Amino acid sequence: MDLNYSAEELAFRDEVRGWLAASLPAGLKDRGHYTKDELLAWHRILASQGWVAPAWPREWGGTGWNLVQRYLFEEELGYAGGPPLVPFGLAMCAPVLLRFGTEAQKKRFLPRIYHGEDFWCQGYSEPGSGSDLASLKTKAVRKNDHYVVTGQKTWTTLAHYADWIFCLVRTDPTVEKRQEGISFLLVDMKSPGVSVRPLILMDGAHEVNEVFFDDVEVPAENRVHEEGKGWTVAKYLLGYERMNTGRIGESKRQLAKLKELSKNKRNDVRFRDRLSRLEIELIALEVTNLRFLDRMRRTGQPPGADVSMLKIKGTEIQQGLTELAMECSDPLAGDENSLALQKRYLSMRKTTIYAGSNEIQRNIIAKMTLGL
């Protein structure tokens, strides 16, 4: 056991760090919200370097890096403070296509995802189906060579930017086990009958939307995996999603900024100790994440359900950091900087709710890891 990075690993990290420092435009750093063009600008810079999808197989543009290198890259990318790489295409739709898609689907969609030509969003939650996702009601009725989709999705992040949406839809309402009547469809957002309505969150930002489907025709060739097997696809994807939610590099950057921000509170021992505990939580999360990667490397097994704890701890830390940052501002302030700190606290409350609420993550650990 040696928790120090090897000389090769450090050299790799330095190379990545150096390239990021030189390549990330200053105007794109440390902003809470980004336009579609800004998100895609950074995506395309990374794509032209060949680094936008390290985890993909090499033939589709993956880097062939090992797990530690991929982790280091992700951490450095987060720490650099640029626009987030929107996961819906790169880290969600693509792994699904790679695992379940036909050759034609892979050829059609993967290169466009890689080069940032299509912007994707995720059609999972519905007004009546949040944590209980399998109760979803958006229906897709087969008619000849296409499906007719009717229903509503909600909390759809960046749907107002999206060219495509991947959706879970009900293709068979008659099955007894409701998980079995669900299919996974790729829908062109320009299709007639698709409409998007903004949902403004408590920080005033427009990030999520409602998406309505009104007799939308979707070619049958846009179904991924067999009809009625959408739940298998969704479960595969959820495992992927959880691996990506520790956000350690990003939190390290927020921590460094918070230390800077709280300089004048240096003699406030209560604040100092809360900050220290949070920093230690982050160190522990980093080592835990590395332990899980190391286990994957040794056993060749995919991550177990206990990686849910990375999501739980990672989001608690993100929230803790924004809460302390907010406390560095005057509660009655009206200037832009103070309000930005305060609104970031508001915004980050979403993290323990999205991508499977932290309570659902605890259910998963209780059932899958502890056998309860």
Kindly list the residues in this chain that would bind other proteins in the complex (CB under 8 A): 1-6, 9, 68, 272-273, 276-277, 279-281, 283-285, 287-288, 290-291, 294-295, 298, 306, 309, 312-313, 359, 362-363, 365-366, 369-372
DSSP 3-state assignment of 22? helix
Q: Which is nearer to other proteins, 13 or 142 (CB)?
A: 13
To other proteins, the closest distance from the beta carbon of 93 in angstroms equals 30
Cα separation of 123 and 107, whole Å?
22
Instruction: Single out the residue of 305, 284, 300 nearest to residue 370, CA to CA.
Output: 305
The residues annotated with a catalytic role in the active site are 241
To other proteins, the closest distance from the beta carbon of 36 in angstroms equals 37
Q: Which is nearer to other proteins, 1 or 22 (CB)?
A: 1
Report which residue type is found at 198: P
Neighbouring CB atoms inside 10 A of 182's CB total 25
Burial class (CB in 10 A: 0-12, 13-18, 19+), 236: middle
Residue 28 DSSP label: G
To other proteins, the closest distance from the beta carbon of 249 in angstroms equals 16
| CA quadruple 122, 189, 35, 331: dihedral sign | negative
Q: Which is nearer to other proteins, 28 or 353 (CB)?
A: 353
Give CA 33 to chain center in angstroms: 15
Q: Which is nearer to other proteins, 69 or 157 (CB)?
A: 69
To other proteins, the closest distance from the beta carbon of 2 in angstroms equals 6
Rounded (5°) CA angle 37-17-321? 75
DSSP 3-state assignment of 200? strand
Structure tokens at 202: 């408590």
Q: Which is nearer to other proteins, 76 or 126 (CB)?
A: 76
**Furthest-apart CA atoms within the chain: distance in Å:** 72
Structure tokens at 207: 């990030």
Instruction: Single out the residue of 139, 140, 95, 136 nearest to residue 114, CA to CA.
Output: 95
Instruction: Single out the residue of 197, 129, 210 nearest to residue 168, CA to CA.
Output: 129
> Between the CA of residue 165 and those of 9, 143, 358, what are the distances in Å?
37, 21, 25
Q: Residues with Cβ < 8 Å from 359, sequence gap 6 or more?
A: 131
Q: Which is nearer to other proteins, 256 or 280 (CB)?
A: 280
To other proteins, the closest distance from the beta carbon of 289 in angstroms equals 9
Residue 60 DSSP label: G
Q: Which is nearer to other proteins, 27 or 371 (CB)?
A: 371
To other proteins, the closest distance from the beta carbon of 275 in angstroms equals 9
Structure tokens at 193: 């009958």
To other proteins, the closest distance from the beta carbon of 312 in angstroms equals 7
Q: Residues with Cβ < 8 Å from 13, sequence gap 6 or more?
A: 5, 72, 76
